[in-house]
Structure 1
Amino acid sequence: MNFKNPLILLITTFVIHFGAIEVKAQSTLPSKVKRYLRSVEKDTLQIPEDRKQVLQETASHIISNSTVKLHFVCSHNSRRSQMAQLITEAIGQYYNINIEAYSGGTHATALNPRAAATLQRVGFDLKMAPGADIPQYSIQLGEETFLMYSKKYDDMQNPKKDFIAIMVCSEADRACPIIPGATLRVALPYTDPRKFDGTEEEEKAYDIVCKQIARDLIYLMAKVKSASL
């Protein structure tokens, strides 16, 4: 869940409306994050056709319903859903689209430090927030500050209506056949990098999954952006 200062946004953000989608003046992303997103843009051609169809249908739903809330759900909200949430926020700024990203799990655990390290390699400046009962990370992204921590999908900080639920693991897909309040439920699973924890392939496995997530979300948001022009 992200916490935004309305006064700062009012002063610094110039908002332009294109149809039903809100497009805002570009925020300053870390240069390393922008380079990462530019490099991943080239990989969208590698997305399998069946996956492209799911992403296209999701984009069409966003465009036709003005739904710009994406809620990523996995089993523990510790790795894939957390990465997807922060990357979505970055892509929203990258494409100048005003989008809200959330994440949750069927169970709450903790943001895994390996996932946090992966996001740091992408270029995000994650800082451990002091004094919390569970591990929390604070991230400054342009003019916005985000607080990342593990929570259930129905946590009070997550949206209750008018959002798209994206199931990023098969376990959550099976456990939550219905997500109350979602206007669309999408299955977009990724391999769990946890199986590589403690091995020589650990860092590579996390980077691959993170890049796959970024690739899919860039493809999705590029479709949304093109429809708003």
Structure 2
Amino acid sequence: MDYTPLTFLPKLEDSIKQILNTPITDERKEVLSPLIHYIREKQDKNEAINLNFICTHNSRRSQFSQIWAKVASSYHGIKTNCFSGGIEITAFNERAVASLQRIGFRIISDNATDNPKYEVFYSDTAQSIKAFSKLVEDQSNPTSNFAAIMTCDHADENCPIISGAEIRIPVRFEDPKKFDDTELEQKMYDERSLQIASEMFYVFSRAND
């Protein structure tokens, strides 16, 4: 069956055009190579692709990564199940949520006080992404046959075993948290989100080669 590309939300579509033209350094390509290999291997074996993006609090980088990986895989027509988790529960940081809204996602919250649950829409014809802070072993995450993708150095260094993971892949990103409550806050959250987006689009484009 031929793949029919999704129609993305209009503002997000404009952001994707920018993302597709963002260069990836050779250093980052090397970092991303094991993830590309994993996805290709799963496709070759006709096995499910399950990616769990992990950082300490599951509040910023792992959420960005889960969401952008889902968008990028959908764009390239590679069926992928994308998850995220942490080693502590906090909340999907409101600054990260705001950044995704600026870039073009439509986001709905249940307005819970401590750890809101969000629906993140990237297309009018695709199922929304459910996003909230959770532990790696949360019941919504896979328990086996998944890649654990470590998006922060703290989680990578302090969580030596990810139960059920068939491979562990470090893909670390700088934390935009250091810019909270500064005049650079919005700029750096958007910059980190778009960096993660460009790298996820690169990964799935190469997986399709």
Confirm or deny a common fold (TM above 0.5). yes
Cα contact 2:91–2:114 (8 A) shared by 1: no
- Tell me the distance in 2 between the aligned counterparts of 1:132 and 1:206: 23
- Tell me the distance in 1 between the aligned counterparts of 2:10 and 2:207: 23
The one of 154, 157, 169 equivalent to 2:152 is 169
Q: Which shifted more, 160-169 or 47-56?
A: 47-56
Q: Which has the higher strand share?
A: 1
The one of 63, 68, 75 equivalent to 1:82 is 63
- Sequence identity of aligned pairs in percent? 35
Write the deviation string for residues 180-204 of structure 1: whole angstroms up to 9, x where unpaired: 2222211111111111111000001
Aligned to 2:77, what secondary structure does the other structure show? coil
Q: Which residue of 1 aligns with 2:35?
A: 58
Q: Which shifted more, 177-186 or 70-79?
A: 177-186
Amino acid at match of 1:49: D
Aligned to 1:184, what secondary structure does the other structure show? strand
TM-score, normalised by the number of residues in structure 2:
0.90
1:215 has 2:198 as partner: yes
- Tell me the distance in 1 between the aligned counterparts of 2:80 and 2:8: 15
TM-align CA RMSD: 1.7
Cα separation, partners in 2 of 1:152 and 1:81, compared to 1, 3 Å = same
Write the deviation string for residues 59-108 of structure 1: whole angstroms up to 9, x where unpaired: 11211133521110001001111111111111122112211110001101
Aligned to 1:116, what secondary structure does the other structure show? helix
Q: What stretches of structure 1 of length at least 5 have no aligned partner?
A: 1-14, 17-23
Aligned to 1:144, what secondary structure does the other structure show? coil
Amino acid at match of 2:55: C
Q: What stretches of structure 2 of length at least 5 have no aligned partner?
A: none
Cα contact 1:71–1:165 (8 A) shared by 2: yes
Aligned to 2:208, what secondary structure does the other structure show? helix
Corresponding residue pairs, total: 203
Amino acid at match of 1:178: I
Amino acid at match of 1:165: A
1:128 has 2:105 as partner: no
Runs of 4+ in 1 over 6 A off after TM superposition: none
Query: Per-residue deviation at 1:133?
Result: 6.2
Query: Per-residue deviation at 1:35?
Result: 1.9
1:48 has 2:25 as partner: yes
- Tell me the distance in 2 between the aligned counterparts of 1:31 and 1:94: 14
Q: Which residue of 1 aligns with 2:13?
A: 34
Cα separation, partners in 2 of 1:153 and 1:197, compared to 1, 3 Å = same
Cα separation, partners in 2 of 1:194 and 1:132, compared to 1, 3 Å = closer
